[in-house]
Chains A and B, each alone.
Chain A
Amino acid sequence: MAALALLQTVVADMRAPQFMMPSQFKFVLPLLAAIALLAASTAQAANAKLEQIIAPAPHSTADHSKFKELNREFKNGPEVTKACLTCHTEAAKQVQHTKHWTWESTDPKTGKVRGKKNIINNYCTSPVSNENDCMACHAGYGWKDDKFDFKAEQNVDCLICHDQTGTYRKLPGFAGHPVYKRVEFPHGSGKFVEAVNLKKVAQSIGMPTRSNCGSCHFFGAGGNGAKHGDLDSSLQHPGKYLDVHMDEKGLNFYCTTCHATSHHEVSGSRYDTAAAVKGPAHIRGKQDASPASCQSCHSNKPHHEAMLNQHTDKLACQTCHIPEYARNQIGTESSWDWSLATQMGPDGKPMAYKDSAGRRAFDSKKGKWEWDSYVMPEYRWYNGYSDYKVIGDKIDPSKTVHINEVGGSPNDPDSRIWPVKVHRGKQPYDKVNNYLTVQHTAGEDHTALWHNYDWQKAIAAGMKAAKLPYSGEFGFVDTAMTWPITHMVAPKGDALSCAQCHSKNGRLKDIEGVYMPARDSNRWLDLIGWTLVVLTLFGVLMHGVLRLYASKKKG
């Protein structure tokens, strides 16, 4: 096995771009290879993929597989974190200041504390009382209820963002831990997930790739592409058509190329978006709060044609350059109707079925979904500010409840017309107290909706965990959530053409407060103008006819 390990190192080195084979190795290598093949012919196939992946990141100055702190077995994630912190002394403290850790975001206008922890989103609703499942996407270990220690540094999960083996997975039901023992998943499915090899993972460490970010952000709301629409697993290996920057054979951007990160604070957020960046492209050394914007590289006058550049005072780049989102068969969820959850199949048992493209369409646990691919966005004035409803905020059940309302108006110099995804649905609410309810959905206990199919128990348990009074009466209300679209930037040839907006029934037909040639005109001016034209035509025609008549008479 030692020979195998050596072979792995050699193979790994060969894959590094700077690899130059030392001359003395030229003789040893075939021998080693032969021994290794004999010794581990069966294990080799299984390890082949791993060997490929754990080549050290090409530009890193550190090969973590050479660190003695990592050359040991680890029982669990926190043990790995402690090892990381022996060198990276400030890393956990840094992470603990970020949204990836707190799941909180403070409203700059009102001071209201939003974030995943506090809002009720339009998909799985709230993580409160469901932490065991939801925290599979928390960058930490052990957040299973409101007693989680946010100060404990070993609870920070370094690996979910830095693993380069692609083997580190966090499953729902483990409060943010990977599986340390082979486990059947989903429960009762007959499928098994192997225990994670923490040593391998820890030794593979590198800067986050698309796969790291994507392990959560591609699968939000519990399904590939379900949540965002402009983020799904197709961005792991995207072509130019899907994303001109991330194109694997072209620019090959990682998420972090734009979401430039310093002290673990990842730039760019839908909670506070830089919606109207002005001025020239940034130069090195410039301190800026919004490096994740298009303009930080392209400036706000990126076109050769002045006429196109002058659109940047009203339009976000994304409006023309992301003509459609979810540009693949994965698609994205357009609605989630919770009111049909607990509805059973004809045999009285829970049922679930998929749509024709193989995407979840109904589940007795969760209700009914609708999906869409190649989606034309809706458009909104947006200034980067979003007003979110948080748990306990009053609602008006006679109207659609907007989970968030994007700020902005035509007269606001910091607003631009943005493409958005609007995800619609129905959610339970407290009919007496008039707020959306928190429900205990995930789990194996008797109050969990997905276990016992009893709304009353699930809501009562959820509201108790959220420390909110529940009247005992619930109904369902129409809801909507708005997502600014910013990923899946198309090649320029696929950008919108002028007439897609400059026409009577174009994409921006409902956008107010801006005069658009070919879409807009003044009714009175047109009426008077054309009347004048017709009268003139009629006048000269009559004059001509009379002349003709007069000359005939003479002739």
Chain B
Amino acid sequence: MNTANRIYLYNRYERFWHWSQALLVISMLITGFEVHGSFTLFGFEQAVNLHTLSAWTLLTLWAFTIFWQFTTGEWRQYIPTLKKVDAMVRYYAFGIFRHAPNPFQKTADKKHNPLQRLAYLALLSMLSPIIWGSGLLYLFYASWASLGVDGYLSLEAVALVHTAGAFLMLVFFIAHVYLTTTGHTPTAHIKTMITGWEEAD
């Protein structure tokens, strides 16, 4: 193997964070839609318990990860840019079918292509507050009166916002999983995410 063509992209913590987050998101989607009444798998009570447990676990994971992002400077990976966005769109819309080269090459400094940056930033800054905000309100329904918010909120409104967030999360999840197959081989990105090593074309 030509080591010159390999770069170490994702360190151990980053991979741990990614995969445990993946597991928790999948768990929350399944249990969440069961609580929503879409199907029966664990039973309502277990679904609620697993959903709540996953939520607290994920929040804990995020606490560590946010700390990690700032101490390592990795937060810069999410600074949005419009440079080459059009090129990426053209690549996914046309180039990819003609085996045109990917206009973006990953480096340790820039792990995400410009579209990815925008998508992740949107996820973090818009979808995430919707889901967590509504989710925590949902969870702390009993404390609404003592928080003084019971006059402004209804459980139905909170539940609908939370459900809308869940649908968007599911859409993101589908698109994200599909896009992992768009490396130089269908499994290349996934391998990178497991081993940390990116192999160049």
**Given the complex of chains A and B, what is the CA–CA distance between A229 and B43 in angstroms?**
31
Q: Which of B56-64, B75-83, B92-100 contacts A (4 or more CB under 8 A)?
A: B92-100
User: B98: which A residues are within 8 A, CB to CB?
Assistant: 550
- Find A532's partner among B142, B155, B156, B167 (CB 8 Å cutoff): B167
User: A498: which B residues are within 8 A, CB to CB?
Assistant: 43-45, 48
**Chain B, range 142-175, C-beta contacts under 8 Å to A:** 142, 154-156, 159-160, 163-164, 166-168, 170-171, 174-175
The yes or no answer to B141 lying at the interface (CB within 8 A) is yes
Determine how close the nearest CB of chain B comes to the CB of A229; give it in whole angstroms: 28
- Find A525's partner among B34, B37, B96, B164 (CB 8 Å cutoff): B164
**Chain B, range 93-146, C-beta contacts under 8 Å to A:** 96-99, 141-142
Total cross-chain contacts (CB, 8 A): 88
User: A499: which B residues are within 8 A, CB to CB?
Assistant: 40, 43-45
User: A503: which B residues are within 8 A, CB to CB?
Assistant: 37, 40, 44
A517 and B37 contact, Cβ closer than 8 Å, known pairs A499-B45, A546-B97, A550-B99: yes
Instruction: Check B155 against A533 for contact (C-beta < 8 Å).
Output: no
User: B168: which A residues are within 8 A, CB to CB?
Assistant: 532
Instruction: Check B167 against A533 for contact (C-beta < 8 Å).
Output: yes
**Given the complex of chains A and B, what is the CA–CA distance between A551 and B163 in angstroms?**
39
Instruction: Check A547 against B96 for contact (C-beta < 8 Å).
Output: yes
The yes or no answer to A543 lying at the interface (CB within 8 A) is yes
User: A544: which B residues are within 8 A, CB to CB?
Assistant: 178, 181
Chain B: how many interface residues by the 8 Å CB criterion? 34
User: B142: which A residues are within 8 A, CB to CB?
Assistant: 306-307, 309-310, 313
The yes or no answer to B35 lying at the interface (CB within 8 A) is yes
Instruction: Check B37 against A518 for contact (C-beta < 8 Å).
Output: yes
**Given the complex of chains A and B, what is the CA–CA distance between A422 and B32 in angstroms?**
37
A536 and B175 contact, Cβ closer than 8 Å, known pairs A310-B142, A515-B155: yes
Determine how close the nearest CB of chain B comes to the CB of A528; give it in whole angstroms: 8
* Chain A CB within 10 A, most for which of B44, B52, B99, B178: B44
* Main SS class of interface, B: helix
User: A307: which B residues are within 8 A, CB to CB?
Assistant: 48, 52, 142
A310 and B97 contact, Cβ closer than 8 Å, known pairs A517-B37, A520-B156: no
User: A543: which B residues are within 8 A, CB to CB?
Assistant: 92, 178
B156 (CB) vs chain A CBs: closest residue: A515
The yes or no answer to A217 lying at the interface (CB within 8 A) is no
The yes or no answer to B36 lying at the interface (CB within 8 A) is yes
**Chain A, range 486-528, C-beta contacts under 8 Å to B:** 497-499, 502-504, 514-515, 517-522, 525-526, 528
- Find B170's partner among A497, A518, A533 (CB 8 Å cutoff): A533
The yes or no answer to A554 lying at the interface (CB within 8 A) is yes
**Given the complex of chains A and B, what is the CA–CA distance between A261 and B151 in angstroms?**
39
Determine how close the nearest CB of chain A comes to the CB of B11; give it in whole angstroms: 29
Determine how close the nearest CB of chain B comes to the CB of A55; give it in whole angstroms: 48
**Given the complex of chains A and B, what is the CA–CA distance between A275 and B36 in angstroms?**
30
B96 (CB) vs chain A CBs: closest residue: A547
- Find B97's partner among A515, A526, A547 (CB 8 Å cutoff): A547
**Given the complex of chains A and B, what is the CA–CA distance between A543 and B164 in angstroms?**
25
**Chain B, range 165-201, C-beta contacts under 8 Å to A:** 166-168, 170-171, 174-175, 178, 181-182
The yes or no answer to A540 lying at the interface (CB within 8 A) is yes
The yes or no answer to A537 lying at the interface (CB within 8 A) is yes
- Find B36's partner among A306, A309, A521, A551 (CB 8 Å cutoff): A521
User: B99: which A residues are within 8 A, CB to CB?
Assistant: 550-551, 554
**Given the complex of chains A and B, what is the CA–CA distance between A497 and B48 in angstroms?**
13
A314 (CB) vs chain B CBs: closest residue: B155
User: A502: which B residues are within 8 A, CB to CB?
Assistant: 37, 44
Chain A: how many interface residues by the 8 Å CB criterion? 36
Determine how close the nearest CB of chain B comes to the CB of A29; give it in whole angstroms: 61
The yes or no answer to A222 lying at the interface (CB within 8 A) is no
**Chain A, range 316-359, C-beta contacts under 8 Å to B:** none
- Find B178's partner among A525, A528, A540 (CB 8 Å cutoff): A540
The yes or no answer to A529 lying at the interface (CB within 8 A) is yes
**Given the complex of chains A and B, what is the CA–CA distance between A503 and B43 in angstroms?**
10
Instruction: Check A504 against B97 for contact (C-beta < 8 Å).
Output: no
Instruction: Check B175 against A540 for contact (C-beta < 8 Å).
Output: yes
User: A306: which B residues are within 8 A, CB to CB?
Assistant: 142
A553 (CB) vs chain B CBs: closest residue: B97
A517 (CB) vs chain B CBs: closest residue: B35
A499 (CB) vs chain B CBs: closest residue: B44
B179 (CB) vs chain A CBs: closest residue: A540
User: B35: which A residues are within 8 A, CB to CB?
Assistant: 517-518
User: A526: which B residues are within 8 A, CB to CB?
Assistant: 163
Determine how close the nearest CB of chain B comes to the CB of A245; give it in whole angstroms: 25
User: A520: which B residues are within 8 A, CB to CB?
Assistant: 37, 156, 159
A311 (CB) vs chain B CBs: closest residue: B142
Determine how close the nearest CB of chain A comes to the CB of B168; give it in whole angstroms: 8
**Given the complex of chains A and B, what is the CA–CA distance between A70 and B114 in angstroms?**
100
* Chain B CB within 10 A, most for which of A313, A497, A517: A517
Determine how close the nearest CB of chain A comes to the CB of B48; give it in whole angstroms: 7
Determine how close the nearest CB of chain B comes to the CB of A545; give it in whole angstroms: 11
**Given the complex of chains A and B, what is the CA–CA distance between A532 and B36 in angstroms?**
17
Instruction: Check B154 against A529 for contact (C-beta < 8 Å).
Output: no
Instruction: Check A310 against B167 for contact (C-beta < 8 Å).
Output: no
A536 and B171 contact, Cβ closer than 8 Å, known pairs A306-B142, A498-B45, A525-B164: yes
* Chain B CB within 10 A, most for which of A528, A543, A546, A550: A543
Determine how close the nearest CB of chain B comes to the CB of A330; give it in whole angstroms: 32
Instruction: Check A532 against B171 for contact (C-beta < 8 Å).
Output: yes
**Given the complex of chains A and B, what is the CA–CA distance between A280 and B141 in angstroms?**
19
**Given the complex of chains A and B, what is the CA–CA distance between A530 and B168 in angstroms?**
10
Q: 17 A-B residue contacts at CB 8 Å?
A: A307-B52, A310-B141, A497-B44, A498-B44, A503-B40, A504-B37, A515-B156, A517-B44, A518-B34, A520-B37, A521-B163, A522-B163, A525-B160, A525-B163, A529-B166, A547-B96, A550-B96
A residues adjacent to B (C-beta < 8 A): 306-307, 309-310, 313, 497-499, 502-504, 514-515, 517-522, 525-526, 528-530, 532-533, 536-537, 540, 543-544, 546-547, 550-551, 554
The 5 closest A-B pairs by CB, nearest first: A310-B142, A529-B167, A540-B178, A515-B156, A518-B37
A502-B37, A504-B37, A522-B160 known; 11 other A-B pairs, CB under 8 Å? A306-B142, A309-B142, A498-B44, A515-B159, A518-B37, A519-B37, A526-B163, A529-B166, A537-B174, A543-B178, A551-B99
